[in-house]
C-alpha cells in the first residue's frame, strides 16, 4: 500500500505534507482505539461450514479475517502498480484490477467491523479498523491519480493501444 501513490501525493500533487498526514493518521488511530469494543473473551469463536459466511457474520477471530485478505490485497495492488508504471499493464486494465478488488474490500471491511469483537486486544481492533479506512484512502488517492495525474503514474509513452487514457 502507498508504495507508488504516496510519493506522488507528496511530491507532485502537494495537497498535504507528510507531517499533516501523520497527525491526521495518529488522530484517527486514537479515535478508533478509543471506540474499540471491550472484549472479555475466554474462548475464541469457532465456525463450521463456509469461511466467507462465518467471517461476514462475525463468527471468526479478527486475525483470521484481517491478515489473509490484507496480504493478498497489498500484493495485488503492488503488482498492478508495478506493471502499470513500467508500461506492462494498460490504464484500463489497471482500472479493472482496482474494480475487481473493490467488492472484496467492502466484504473485508464489513467482516473486520463485525469480527472486531473477537479480539482480545483493543489495539489490534483499533488498528484493524484504522487500516480498513486507510485502504479506502488508498482507493481515493488512486482515483485522484487516475483522473487528474495519469501522466505522472503510467508509462504513457509505452502504452500504444491505450494512449488516450493518459490525457
Task: For 1-37, write each residue's pLDDT tens digit.
Answer: 788 888 888 888 877 888 998 999 999 999 999 988 8
Task: Tell me how far apart the alpha carbons of residues 40 and 61 are, in angstroms, rounded to a whole number.
Answer: 14
Domain that holds residue 109: 5-36+48-166
In angstroms, the Cα distances linking 112 to 2, 67, 160 are 21, 10, 41
User: Average pLDDT for residues 132-160, to the nearest whole number?
Assistant: 82
Q: Are 100 and 73 in contact (CB under 8 A)?
A: no
Q: Let me know if residue 42 belongs to a domain.
A: no
Q: Let me know if residue 43 belongs to a domain.
A: no
Q: Let me know if residue 95 belongs to a domain.
A: yes
Average pLDDT, the chain: 85
Instruction: Copy the grid coordinates of residue 16.
Output: 498535504
Residue with cell 487528474: 148
User: Average pLDDT for residues 110-132, to the nearest whole number?
Assistant: 91
Q: Tell whether the model's pLDDT for residue 105 goes beyond 90.
A: yes
Q: Let me know if residue 28 belongs to a domain.
A: yes
Q: Let me know if residue 41 belongs to a domain.
A: no
- Show Cβ contacts of residue 151 under 8 Å, excluding neighbours closer than 6 positions: 166, 167
Q: Let me know if residue 74 belongs to a domain.
A: yes
Specify the number of domains making up the chain.
Answer: 1
Amino acid at each position: 500500500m502507498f508504495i507508488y501513490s504516496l510519493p506522488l501525493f507528496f511530491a507532485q500533487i502537494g495537497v498535504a505534507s507528510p507531517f499533516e498526514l501523520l497527525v491526521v493518521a495518529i488522530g484517527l488511530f486514537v479515535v478508533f482505539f478509543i471506540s474499540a469494543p471491550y472484549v472479555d473473551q475466554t474462548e475464541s469463536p469457532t465456525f463450521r461450514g463456509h469461511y466467507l459466511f462465518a467471517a461476514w457474520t462475525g463468527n471468526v477471530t479478527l486475525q483470521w479475517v484481517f491478515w489473509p485478505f490484507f496480504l493478498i490485497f497489498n500484493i495485488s495492488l503492488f503488482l498492478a502498480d508495478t506493471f502499470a508504471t513500467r508500461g506492462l499493464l494498460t490504464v484500463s486494465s489497471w482500472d479493472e484490477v482496482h474494480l475487481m478488488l473493490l467488492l472484496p474490500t467492502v466484504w473485508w471491511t464489513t467482516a473486520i467491523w463485525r469480527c472486531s469483537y473477537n479480539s482480545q486486544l483493543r489495539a489490534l481492533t483499533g488498528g484493524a479498523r484504522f487500516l480498513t479506512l486507510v485502504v479506502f484512502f488508498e482507493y481515493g488517492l488512486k482515483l485522484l491519480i487516475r483522473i487528474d495525474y495519469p501522466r505522472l503514474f503510467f508509462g504513457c509513452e509505452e502504452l500504444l493501444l491505450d494512449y488516450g487514457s493518459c490525457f
